[in-house]
Amino acid sequence: MRIFLTNLGKYNEGELVGLWLTLPCTDDELQATLTKIGISACCEEYFITDYECDIGLRVDEYGSLTTLNKAAERISSLTDHERQVLQAVNELEAPDISSIMDIIENLGDYTLHPDIQNDYALGHYRIHEAEGYNLCSFGKLAEYLDYEAYGRDYNVNSRGGFTSKGWLERHT
């Protein structure tokens, strides 16, 4: 995650003074960046003009640098699968930075199915795997199942949704 940290006082005077800062960072790196853009006791206001985040996290322009840094530190320690789940959650729920730590701590409440990209695949998965129906007992009637309609109904009535990473469902 990178943020463009800007001196608000200078900005209000018509001057853009800021630097890119890569998070997570140490307290010394943060302090050095603040000093370089003129943030001191007499001029202590800053804001985030721009940001880059590969997992789709929304960053508020007046967000807490401490909270952002903690979130970036935690995100950097996630496994690839956990990052995929977090990206899907960001797409589906668009959480703000204040709730992202809760989501990270509870990633186990979500299941991501990368191979399920549409209602048909969702219906097929729900009938054959999740609910474990034995379609042999239905005989020829099994040919008439409408997987797409079943998946669409499940989608509407569940705590999940389609994302660019696949079908994401929240269990709690």
Cβ-based neighbours of 21, under 8 Å, separated by 6 or more: 2, 3, 4, 5, 29, 30, 33
Closest residue by Cα to residue 151 from 127, 132, 172? 127
User: Tell me: the pLDDT tens digits for 4-47?
Assistant: 999 998 899 999 999 999 999 999 999 899 999 988 755 578 99
146 plus 85 within the same structural domain: yes
Domain end marker among 25, 58, 77 = 77
Q: How many domains does the chain have?
A: 2
* Domain boundary pick from 77, 97, 132: 77
Burial category of 95 from C-beta neighbours within 10 Å (exposed 0-12, middle 13-18, buried 19 and up): middle
Q: Domain boundary residue among 28, 46, 77? A: 77
CATH number of domain containing 149? 1.10.10.1190
Question: What is the span of the domain harbouring residue 159?
Answer: 79-172
In this prediction the pTM is: 0.79
Q: Report how far residue 41's alpha carbon sits from residue 83's, in angstroms, rounded to the nearest whole number.
A: 38
User: Do 63 and 97 belong together in one domain?
Assistant: no
**Higher pLDDT among residues 35 and 97, named by residue:** 35
If pLDDT is split at 50, 70 and 90, which confidence band does 137 have? low
Nearest to 66 by CA among 36, 106, 103, 34: 34
